[in-house]
Amino acid sequence: MLIRNSILDEVRYQVKSYLARHPKALDCTCSQCQNDVIALAASKLPARYCTSSQGRILIGVELQAKQLQLDILQAILLAIKTVNHSPRHDPNRAVE
């Protein structure tokens, strides 16, 4: 098994879920803006690396903790606010 950062996987999943429920939260939904939200949010959280399926299961249980879920949501909301304020994509880009 490869080395995986389970927080990054969880943030990616939570961002997709949040944007599906709140489609107007992110002013631009291009892949650059979505990836910026994921990267910003994940960088605000402690990494949780695993190298085995057993480690992934243990981290998966840890990721279900209410406080960690709230921390992830808070990081996502802050990242969305940051990206909305200062998007990095080319304003003349073709919409994806």
CA distance 57 to 68: 16
Sequential pLDDT tens for the chain (96 residues): 689 999 999 999 999 999 999 999 999 989 999 999 999 999 999 999 999 989 988 998 999 999 999 999 999 999 999 999 999 876 666 555
Token pair of 93, please?
């880009």
Token pair of 95, please?
């919409």
